[in-house]
Amino acid sequence: MPLDPIVAQLLELGRDLPKMHSLSVADARASMLARVEPLKPLAPADIETRDLVMETAAGGLPIRIYRPEGAAATLPVLLWLHGGGWVVGNIESHDGLCRLLAKEGPLLVVSVDYRLAPEARSPAQQQDAAAALTWTAGTIGTYGGDPEHIVIGGDSAGSNLAALAAIAAREAAGPRLAGQLLVYPVTDFPTDDRASYTQDGDYGLSKADMLWFWNHWLPDGSAADASTAPLRAKDLSGLPPAWVVTAEYDVLKDEGEAYVARLAAAGNRVEHECVPGMIHGFFSIAGMIPAASAAVQRAARWAATV
């Protein structure tokens, strides 16, 4: 279907802004925060938050816990890893989305401020995700979360880390996950073999942007492999149920769909929704677009009941 009219207007308003791959790392981070600033008033206000620092082998890892006001004493848990190409983004850039996910579940959301590249390259982010999962499984009951119902999730690069963490948890025989929520996931290195990377039009995220992200994240001289690209994993059997969201006008659509196919072929329970008329990043602008808000609601309720 055509672009959602509001999405089309937003793209037109941003047409003259510099592209992500043309910016310095510092400017790219500032640009992302500037873009979400106008969205803050749209986020649910009736959410209790608590900021903590989780101690890991690499040092303190900031996290923020979200709980809807008046919710049940014990809530299912969503461990959330933010998007931003492993280079940009933080707890604040995804605060509005985490508030919405918590409210719509209802869920106890744990948002992780993992280390960013290029200051910390792969596998630092995978290590932080694994540490956050171990902490959540062992500690979240103290904060009103159900340790028997933990879904790991994220958007874009965050869903890449979530998928990798689910594979790692299977290989290490724990912690047990109730599900994985993968929103427009990065599952492989950019390639022109996938039609979504060669579609006509500028929809906000390009192959050049993705190469910029990957080149900042991968250690110098290394190539993508199963440790960074979950689609390249040899064995995807025995993984938790997955809800995978893709967007019609997103360069990542085809690799997300390829991962859905691999998960299903390996015998996993997997549900896939390609949201028509949407672009990469649409979860973060859900408060402006009814169709996006509905997609976030469906995802959050799946995470709460899987």
pLDDT tens column, 76-91: 999 999 999 999 999 9
Q: What is the DSSP letter of 16?
A: T
Residue range(s) defining the domain that contains residue 175: 5-305
Look at the block and give the residue holding tokens 């959301």. 109
pLDDT tens column, 18-38: 999 999 999 999 999 999 999
Query: pTM (2 decimals)?
Result: 0.98
CATH code for position 22: 3.40.50.1820
Give the span between the Cα atoms of 128 and 87, in whole angstroms. 14
How many H helices and E strands in the chain?
A: 8, 8
pLDDT tens column, 207-262: 999 999 999 999 999 999 999 999 999 999 999 999 999 999 999 999 999 999 99
Give the span between the Cα atoms of 291 and 283, in whole angstroms. 10
pLDDT at position 97, please? Answer: 98
| Composition of the chain by helix, strand, coil, percent to 5 | 40, 20, 35
Burial class (CB in 10 A: 0-12, 13-18, 19+), 1: exposed
Give the span between the Cα atoms of 224 and 158, in whole angstroms. 16
Residue 201 has pLDDT above 90, yes or no: no
**Catalytic residue numbers, as ranges:** 156, 250, 280
Q: For the chain, how many structural domains are there in total? A: 1
Q: Do β-strands 108-112 and 145-155 pair in parallel, antiparallel, or remain unpaired?
A: unpaired
Is 79 in contact with 112 (CB distance < 8 Å)? Answer: yes
Give the span between the Cα atoms of 13 and 234, in whole angstroms. 43
